[in-house]
Chain A
C-alpha cells in the first residue's frame, strides 16, 4: 500500500517508521505536513515526536493544521490511519479519536519496554496479530482518559499487561484508565497507540529479539 508518513516540524520518528514500514513491504513516502496530498495514499501514519515543540499541549498545534483535516477525510473514507505516540496525541486532539492523553502520573518522561494485550480483533491492524506484544513506550503525556468508562472499554484496543497477561496497576506505566495503551475508532480503520511499533520491528534492538511491532504495521504491506 502506498503509505504517507506525515512529518510536522518537531516530528522525530519519521525515519524510523519509514524504515519499519519498508520492512513489511509498504510503499513509503515521508511527506511534509504542508505538502500532503491524501489522494495519493491508501494509508497514513502519524509518527511520534514533538510536533511544533508540543508547546501549548502535546499535539494541539498539529491537530489544527490543514494536514489533519485531510487525515480526517481519509479516516472518513475508511482509509487506514495510524497515530503513534505524538501521532496518537494529535489524533485525539483533532477529535478523530475520542478521549484525551494527560501527563503521566509521575509527571516524568518514561522510556520503558512494556507488554500490551490485543483486546479486539475487529480492526485490520489486529485481526490476525499475536495475543500480546512487546514494545517500548517513550512519552511524557500518555495517560489515556475518557469520561465514559464503558465507552473507553469498547474502544480499547491495546492494554498494558504484566508478564502473565494481566492488566495490573504495576503494569500500567502512566496511569491510563483501564490500562489503555491504544484505541481505535468504531469502524476500526483508525488506530492510536502510545507504544512504538516501529521500535519493536528489528530483532537487533529489542531486548529479547522479538519483532512484535511488525504485527501492527504489516497491514500497510498489503
Chain B
C-alpha cells in the first residue's frame, strides 16, 4: 500500500517517538495525517471563516463533523457536505453511493434524522467514458438515497472538460434533532466502552490516503468502498433508536477504525482489541482491520452498564455489534490483537500533524479578447449548453417524494424547499462556479455565496447557515494554493457580510487529470435558509419582465467566455447589491407581486429567460432598457451578481421599491404565450433550443 507521508513528516514521527514505527503504526499515522483527515495544508486558512452566530448550536470542532443551527421550537438543523471524487473516478457507482452513505452517517452521528440530500455533480466531456461516469454516478446516488428513504431534493449536474479524468461528486445532507438531544462525536471521560456495529471487510483499504494524492492510474480499486444501503438503512434506524443511550457517536469514514477511535478519544487514550472486531472475511490482518474503510459501521462510546441494551437492538436484526475496547486516561492509542500490541502511539502525535503553509503565487491570466461573435450564434450555443438543459433525466431517478415533505421539487425552482418537523419551510441550495474561479477565485468565493443567497431569496427564504467544500489540485503547486487561499478569503468575506455562519466544511485537494493538470478551482457552498413569510413557488408565466440590478460589461469568467473566449472584465461581486435585490424579491413575494422569479447566474439573462421559453412563452426584450452597459453580448450573457429577473403584473411597484432601496430596476420586456425570443424586434427561432432542453440528456445518455 502506498503511503503519502513526506520525508519531513516521517522524520517528525521518528523524532517524537524516538524509535522507528512498525508497519501498522506507519499506516495509522498515514491515515490520520492524510490531507483528507487532518486538513494539514488548509487548517490555517479555514480559521478565517466565521463559524459563530446567535443561531449556532454547535459549530465544527476542528472541521471534522457536522455543525448545527437553531431552527426554532427546540429543533436544530444539522448539515454537512462532502465529496467522493476519487472513488467516483474509478468506480462511479460505488463511489457515488458510498458518498451518500458517508454523509448520512455524519448526520446520524449527531443523533439527527436525515431529511434531505442534495447532489452536485461535475463531469467532463460526454464521450463514452463521460457517459459511463454520469450514468453510474446518478444511479449510485439513487441506489443509496432511495434505499434508505432520504429524498434527494436538489442539486446540480454540470459539464466542463476540466473534469474529464476527475469528476466531482458532492453530496450534502441535512438532518433534524431536538436541540437538547444532540450527541457529541468526542468523549470527555475515560472508562466508556467502545462499541462497534457492522462487519469490517477488505474494501476501502487506505481510502483516506488515496483521496489525498492524485489518481495514479495503478490498480486502486481496493481503495474504493462497496455500498450496502440495506445495512445503511438498518444502521440509520437503529442508531437513532439507541442515540439516547450512548455518550458519543462517530461514523467510520476515511481512515476507518484508526481515525474514528483516535478522533473520538479526542486527546484521551483508547485500547482496542482487534480480535473482537466483527469481520466479513476471517483472514483480515490486524493492520487491515485498523484502516479498512468498510461502510455502514458506527462507533459508539457507551457507559459499561448500557452496552448490552445498545447491542441487543442490533442483534435482534442479526446485525453485528461488539464491545471492542475502552477509553483510557493515559493519552495513548493502542491497538492490540490477542494481547499482542499491534500499534501504540501517543494521541497527541496522531491528532496534530505538522501543519504546512505552502508557497503561493498568482497565475497570470491571459487577457486576450475573443473574436466577435454574432448574437444569434451566442444565443444558440449558450442556451443549448448541457449545463442549462432540463435535468429531469437525472432527478427522476431519485425518490425525491419520500418523507412527504418536499415542497419545492427538483426542477421547480432555484432552491429546493422541504418542510421541517415544526412546520417551517427550509430552503436549500448548493452552488459552484468553476469558470469564474479559474479567472479569480477570490471574486468567485464571494460570488458563489452571493448566488446561493439569491437562489434562496427566489423562494422567499433568507440564509441561516452554510457549509463549504473546497476542491482544488495539488496544494504544493503555488498557483493552486494561491487560488485556494483566495477562495477561502472570498467565501469568508461574503459569509461575514451576510452574517451567515459557516458551520462545516471539507477540503479536497489533489484533483488532477492524468497529465497532472489541476482541475479548475471548484469551491462549492451549500446554504440553508428559512422561508420568512410566504413561499415563492410560481411556475413560469405571462407578465412584465423586470430586471433588478445593474448589468455590467463583465463577461470574463462566464459560460459565454468558456465558449467564445474572454471579453469585458472580471465581475467584481458587490455584495450590497445582492443583499438589497434579494430583500426586494422576498418583499415582492410576501406582497404577492412576484409571479415568477429567477436569479441571474449561469448563462446570464439568456439563461434566466430559458425556463420561460421552454414553458411555452415568448420573451420579448428591449435591450435598451437593460442598464449598465451598451454591449449587447454583456447584456445577454453577463453573469455579474446582484441581479434577478422577475415576472410581475405590477412593474411599477418594483421600480418604486428599487428606488427606495437604492438599486437599479427596469422593465425590460414581456413574456406572453408563444415560443420565441425577441430582442429589439429581431426574432430568434427557439424551436431547437426548446427541443434540446427537454431531450438532450435522454438522447445523449
Query: Using a CB–CB distance below 8 Å, which chain A residues touch chain B?
Result: 9-10, 12-13, 15-16, 19-20, 34, 48-50, 52-55, 108-112, 136, 138, 140, 196, 198-199, 201-202, 204-205, 207
Q: Any chain A CB within 8 A of the CB of B55?
A: no
Q: Any chain A CB within 8 A of the CB of B674?
A: no
Contacts of B399 in A (CB 8 A): 12, 109, 111, 138
Selected from A20, A55, A140, A196, the residue in CB contact (under 8 A) with B230 is: A55
Task: Please determine whether B404 and A198 come into contact, CB atoms closer than 8 angstroms.
Answer: yes
Task: Please determine whether A205 and B146 come into contact, CB atoms closer than 8 angstroms.
Answer: no
Task: Please determine whether B404 and A53 come into contact, CB atoms closer than 8 angstroms.
Answer: no
Give the CA-CA distance A48 to B402 in the complex, in Å. 9
Contacts of A140 in B (CB 8 A): 146
Task: Please determine whether A50 and B397 come into contact, CB atoms closer than 8 angstroms.
Answer: no
Task: Please determine whether A9 and B317 come into contact, CB atoms closer than 8 angstroms.
Answer: yes
Q: 30 pairs across A/B with beta carbons < 8 Å?
A: A9-B230, A9-B234, A10-B147, A10-B230, A12-B149, A12-B399, A13-B402, A50-B147, A50-B229, A50-B230, A50-B233, A53-B231, A109-B139, A109-B142, A109-B146, A109-B397, A109-B398, A110-B396, A111-B396, A111-B398, A111-B399, A111-B401, A138-B399, A138-B402, A140-B146, A199-B401, A201-B404, A204-B407, A205-B401, A205-B407
Task: Please determine whether A16 and B396 come into contact, CB atoms closer than 8 angstroms.
Answer: no
In the complex, what's the smallest C-beta–C-beta distance from B299 to chain A, in angstroms? 21
Task: Please determine whether B403 and A16 come into contact, CB atoms closer than 8 angstroms.
Answer: yes
Task: Please determine whether B419 and A136 come into contact, CB atoms closer than 8 angstroms.
Answer: no
Contacts of B405 in A (CB 8 A): 205
Task: Please determine whether A16 and B404 come into contact, CB atoms closer than 8 angstroms.
Answer: yes
Q: Any chain A CB within 8 A of the CB of B450?
A: no
Q: Any chain A CB within 8 A of the CB of B347?
A: no
Task: Please determine whether A205 and B229 come into contact, CB atoms closer than 8 angstroms.
Answer: no
Q: Any chain A CB within 8 A of the CB of B400?
A: yes
Task: Please determine whether A20 and B404 come into contact, CB atoms closer than 8 angstroms.
Answer: yes
Task: Please determine whether B230 and A108 come into contact, CB atoms closer than 8 angstroms.
Answer: no
Task: Please determine whether A205 and B404 come into contact, CB atoms closer than 8 angstroms.
Answer: yes
Give the CA-CA distance A205 to B404 in the complex, in Å. 7
Per CB-CB distance, the 3 closest pairs between chain A and chain B, nearest first, are: A12-B149, A53-B230, A138-B399
Contacts of B402 in A (CB 8 A): 12-13, 16, 48, 138, 199
Give the CA-CA distance A111 to B392 in the complex, in Å. 10
Give the CA-CA distance A204 to B419 in the complex, in Å. 9
Query: How many of B's residues come within 8 Å of A, CB to CB?
Result: 30
Task: Please determine whether B230 and A19 come into contact, CB atoms closer than 8 angstroms.
Answer: no
Give the CA-CA distance A179 to B303 in the complex, in Å. 57
Contacts of B396 in A (CB 8 A): 108-112
Determine the residue in chain B with the shortest Cβ distance to A137: B401
Q: Any chain A CB within 8 A of the CB of B239?
A: no
> A138 with B230: in contact, given A9-B317, A49-B149, A205-B406 (CB under 8 Å)?
no
Q: Any chain A CB within 8 A of the CB of B645?
A: no
Task: Please determine whether B397 and A111 come into contact, CB atoms closer than 8 angstroms.
Answer: yes
Q: Any chain A CB within 8 A of the CB of B148?
A: yes
Determine the residue in chain A with the shortest Cβ distance to B397: A109
Task: Annotate B360-401 by CB proximity to A: 1 below 8 A, 0 otherwise.
Answer: 000000000000000000000000000000000001111111
Task: Please determine whether B230 and A13 come into contact, CB atoms closer than 8 angstroms.
Answer: no
Give the CA-CA distance A205 to B40 in the complex, in Å. 45
Contacts of A10 in B (CB 8 A): 147, 230, 233-234
In the complex, what's the smallest C-beta–C-beta distance from A117 to chain B, in angstroms? 21
Give the CA-CA distance A196 to B400 in the complex, in Å. 12
In the complex, what's the smallest C-beta–C-beta distance from B644 to chain A, in angstroms? 24
Give the CA-CA distance A49 to B401 in the complex, in Å. 12
Contacts of B419 in A (CB 8 A): 204-205
Determine the residue in chain B with the shortest Cβ distance to A135: B401
Determine the residue in chain A with the shortest Cβ distance to B400: A111
Task: Please determine whether A53 and B397 come into contact, CB atoms closer than 8 angstroms.
Answer: no
Give the CA-CA distance A34 to B398 in the complex, in Å. 30
Give the CA-CA distance A15 to B231 in the complex, in Å. 19
Determine the residue in chain B with the shortest Cβ distance to A138: B399
Q: Beyond the given A50-B147, A52-B230, A53-B147, could you list 7 further A-B residue pairs with CB under 8 A, ordered by the A residue number?
A: A53-B230, A53-B231, A109-B139, A109-B142, A110-B396, A112-B396, A138-B402
Give the CA-CA distance A131 to B561 in the complex, in Å. 53
Contacts of B237 in A (CB 8 A): 9
Contacts of A20 in B (CB 8 A): 404
> A202 with B147: in contact, given A50-B230, A109-B399 (CB under 8 Å)?
no
Task: Please determine whether B397 and A110 come into contact, CB atoms closer than 8 angstroms.
Answer: yes
Determine the residue in chain A with the shortest Cβ distance to B406: A205
Give the CA-CA distance A97 to B276 in the complex, in Å. 46
Give the CA-CA distance A130 to B409 in the complex, in Å. 26
In the complex, what's the smallest C-beta–C-beta distance from A61 to chain B, in angstroms? 10
> A12 with B148: in contact, given A111-B397, A196-B401 (CB under 8 Å)?
yes
In the complex, what's the smallest C-beta–C-beta distance from A72 to chain B, in angstroms? 23
Contacts of A49 in B (CB 8 A): 149
Task: Please determine whether B403 and A108 come into contact, CB atoms closer than 8 angstroms.
Answer: no
Selected from A52, A55, A136, the residue in CB contact (under 8 A) with B401 is: A136
Contacts of B316 in A (CB 8 A): 34
